[in-house]
Amino acid sequence: MVEEATDLPYATESAAAAGLEHMVIRISLEELLRRHLPVVVRALQSFDPMTLRNDVAIACALSEAAARGFRCAATGDAADELLGGYGFTHGLAPEAWAASRGRMAAIMAFGSVRLGAHLGMFVTSPFTQPGVVAASLQLSKADCVQTVDGASLGKMPLRTLFPEVTSCMRRKDPIEVGCGTTALSRPGYFDRLISDEQLESERRYIESHHGVEIRDKEHLHYYRVFRETFPNGVVPGKPRHGSDPCPKCGYQLSDPTQTFCITCGHYDPQLRQRRA
C-alpha cells in the first residue's frame, strides 16, 4: 500500500466492524516493484502496464499471507464482470450491456489465481462458482446498474444486500487506485529510471529486432523485466506469430473474440472486424 490508497479507510472500517485483524502493508513503489514485479511477470507472462499495476499489489498481499502461513485466500474477482461494476458498460443499451456481460463472463480469468499457485496458495472467489455465475446472468442491467445521488453505480445487488457495510455505496475504483499503484502510470515516475534518449533508442531497437511496439517508459520498464524473465522472448505455452497474433507484440491472443492483448496490453475494439 502506498500513500494514495483509496481503499484504506474502507478496509480499516470493514475489518473493525467484522472483528477481524487488519494487516496493512506499507511499502514504497520502488520496493514494491523490486520485490514483486518479477514474480508477477513470470506468473502472468505479461508486460501489460494495466495488468501489472493491479496485480503487483495482489502479489504483495498474497506473499505476505503465504509468509504468515496461510494456504488459501478468497477474493471478490468476477463481481465487476457479472454485476455491472465497470463504468465503461453503463452507457450501453440493456441488450448490448447483457451481451457485453456475457462475453466477459465467458472469457474472464484472474491473475490472483495464477499468482496464488505460483506462491503455493489456493485462491478462489465466490463469484466464479458456476451457480453464482448462472444466477448473476439472469439479472438485468436495471438490476445491476442504477443511479444513486446522481452517480451511476454497478453491483447494486451486492450493495443492497449488505447495507450495513461501510463501503456499500462507495465508487468503484480499480485495484491500482485502491492500493495507490496508479502513481506508476503518471508522467514523471519512470523519468529518473529511463531518459528520453533511452526510450527512443530502445523503442526503435525493440521494434526492429523483437517486433514489439513499446508505448512509453513504464511499458519499457516492464518489457525489460519480461525479457529478463523470458530470455529471447520465449514464453512457455505462448507462441508468437501463430494463427491469431497480437499486431503489436506478436504473441498469440488469448481468445478468438479477444480485442485486448493480455501480453502487451494493446487494445483495439475493431480488431476482430479488421480480421474478418
3-state secondary structure 18-56: HCCCCCCCCCCHHHHHHHHHHHHHHHHCCCCHHHHHHHH
Tell me: the pLDDT tens digits for 2-38?
A: 567 999 999 999 999 989 999 999 999 999 999 999 9
- Where is 224: in which H helix or E strand? helix 217-229
Tell which CATH architecture fits domain 6-184: 3-Layer(aba) Sandwich (3.40)
pLDDT at 52 over 90: yes
CA-to-CA distance for 247 and 166, rounded, in angstroms? 44
CA-to-CA distance for 255 and 107, rounded, in angstroms? 8
Report the pLDDT value the prediction gives residue 245, as an integer from 0 to 100.
95
CA-to-CA distance for 228 and 108, rounded, in angstroms? 28
In this structure, are residues 52 and 38 in contact, taking their beta carbons and an 8 Å threshold? no
Instruction: List the domain boundaries for the chain.
Output: 6-184, 196-233
Cell reading at 224: 525489460
| pTM attached to this predicted model | 0.90
CB hemisphere CA count around 41 (13 angstroms): 24
DSSP assignment letter at 170 = P
CA-to-CA distance for 176 and 183, rounded, in angstroms? 8
CA-to-CA distance for 83 and 89, rounded, in angstroms? 11
Strand ranges (DSSP E) for 145-214? Answer: 146-148, 151-153
In this structure, are residues 23 and 34 in contact, taking their beta carbons and an 8 Å threshold? no
Report the pLDDT value the prediction gives residue 142, as an integer from 0 to 100.
98
Tell me: the pLDDT tens digits for 101-155?
A: 999 999 999 999 999 999 999 999 999 999 999 999 999 999 999 999 999 999 9
pLDDT at 180 over 60: yes
CA-to-CA distance for 162 and 117, rounded, in angstroms? 31
CA-to-CA distance for 251 and 83, rounded, in angstroms? 31
Coil, helix or strand at residue 69? coil
CA-to-CA distance for 175 and 203, rounded, in angstroms? 29
**Dihedral sign from CA coordinates of 120, 177, 37, 28:** negative
Report the pLDDT value the prediction gives residue 37, as an integer from 0 to 100.
98
Looking at residue 134, its amino acid is A
CA-to-CA distance for 119 and 31, rounded, in angstroms? 19
Predicted confidence band of residue 276 (pLDDT cuts 50, 70, 90): low
